[in-house]
């Protein structure tokens, strides 16, 4: 039997890209008995995803929830508002995140700096703090999984990405500290760092300019969000004593944040 049977999985940023594919992959892997709490700001998109999952996985209960992780009020009210049958969260996938622009200091818009940190860093930390008490209330010192989506950008900085890179470095640092802090429990703290993945990421970066976003992937074959989703579900599905603590996932043409082989 799958180790994921009966689990309650909470995914942030499930309306697009890696988060959406992760929801679908969990449902495919455990279609008979699973609960998915899918969160993002776009509730309509989450409802469409819930309908898509219902078509092939009748045993998966999906709860779409509108949640802006950058809002301390919304995150603060989140757990208390969960229906009773979804309160026992087993896995938190901290995936919501974004990049804004390619500006360099001193010309980075203050609002973009705030948005990136409030979403990628403060939001991820707030979600973690909201869910950890659920894990810690369990017997044997507590158990549950935290899977943080970092980035190659958190390991290596590049020009035009200073704030995004700093935000993902903060995720990495927080994740490492948390794993150390929780060592006496059975809580698993994991980080998955993708390289280039084609999602809405670059469209968001360029403020909706799809043409500009397309250029990022010209001559290269990026990862698909499904590729990353498979790694997330693999990590969550390991035996309880196995912690996929830290995974860096590149497409074959990529060897570093800015080292890519492009076909011309
Ligand atoms: P997408 O833009 O396709 O998806 C981002 C998701 O985050 C959306 O579902 C969006 O939903 C959600 N989101 C954004 N802001 C908020 C917010 N304030 N509150 C709640 N949800 C929010 O991009 P990806 O799938 O690529 O990104 C997912 C994660 O992967 C991010 O953390 C990103 O940094 C990371 N990553 C991406 C890489 C890439 O190359 N694409 C590489 C490495 C890491 P909504 O707008 O509905 O709120
Ligand atoms: C997204 C990857 O390096 O293009 O996290 O910013 S990068």
Q: Are 40 and 96 in contact (CB under 8 A)?
A: yes
Q: Are 140 and 133 in contact (CB under 8 A)?
A: no
Question: pLDDT for 190-229, tens place per residue?
Answer: 999 999 999 999 999 999 999 999 999 999 999 999 999 9
What fold does the segment set 8-260 form as a domain? Rossmann fold (3.40.50)
Strands (E), the chain: 8-12, 34-40, 60-66, 91-94, 143-149, 186-194, 246-249, 254-256, 259-260
Q: Report how far ligand 2's centroid is from the alpha carbon of 185 (Å).
A: 32
Question: pLDDT for 142-165, tens place per residue?
Answer: 999 999 999 999 999 999 999 999
229 lines ligand 2 (CB under 6 A): no
Task: Tell me if residue 66 is catalytic.
Answer: no
| Contact residues of ligand 1, CB 6 A cut-off | 12-19, 40-42, 67-70, 95-98, 119, 123, 149, 151, 194, 196-197, 199-201, 204, 225
Ligand 2 atom with least separation from CA of 195: 2
Domain ranges in the chain?
Answer: 8-260
CA angle (36, 41, 44) in 5-degree steps = 70
Task: Tell me if residue 100 is catalytic.
Answer: no
Where is average pLDDT lowest: 34-43, 138-147, 228-237? Answer: 138-147
Q: Report how far ligand 2's centroid is from the alpha carbon of 77 (Å).
A: 31
**Torsion angles phi and psi, residue 101, rounded to 5:** 75, 180
ipTM score over 0.95, yes or no = yes
CA distance linking residue 56 with residue 61, whole number of Å? 12
Closest CA to 22 of 82, 93, 89, 87: 93
161 lines ligand 2 (CB under 6 A): yes
């Amino acid at each position: 039997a799958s180790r994921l049977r009966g689990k309650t999985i909470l995914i942030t940023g499930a309306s697009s890209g890696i988060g959406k594919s992760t929801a679908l992959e969990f449902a495919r892997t455990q279609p008979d008995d699973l609960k998915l709490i899918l969160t993002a700001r776009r509730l309509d998109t989450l409802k469409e995803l819930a309908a898509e999952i219902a078509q092939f996985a009748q045993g998966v209960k999906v709860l779409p929830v509108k949640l802006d992780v950058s809002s301390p009020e919304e995150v603060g009210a989140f757990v208390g508002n969960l229906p009773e049958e979804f309160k026992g969260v087993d896995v938190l996938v901290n995936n919501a995140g974004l990049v804004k622009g390619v500006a360099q200091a001193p010309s980075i818009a203050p609002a973009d700096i705030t948005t990136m940190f409030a979403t990628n860093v403060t939001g991820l930390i707030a979600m973690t703090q909201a869910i950890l008490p659920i894990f810690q209330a369990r017997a044997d010192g507590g158990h549950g999984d935290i899977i943080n989506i970092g980035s190659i950008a958190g390991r290596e900085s590049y020009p035009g990405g200073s704030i995004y890179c700093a935000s993902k470095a903060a995720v990495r640092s927080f994740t490492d500290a948390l794993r150390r802090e929780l060592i006496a429990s059975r809580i698993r703290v994991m980080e998955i760092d993708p390289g280039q993945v084609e999602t809405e990421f670059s469209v968001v970066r360029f403020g909706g300019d799809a043409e500009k976003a397309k250029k990022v992937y010209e001559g290269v074959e990026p990862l698909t969000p499904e590729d990353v989703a498979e790694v997330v579900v693999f990590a969550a599905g390991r035996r309880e004593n196995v912690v996929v603590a830290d995974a860096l996932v590149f497409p074959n043409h990529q060897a570093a944040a800015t080292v890519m082989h492009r076909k011309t």
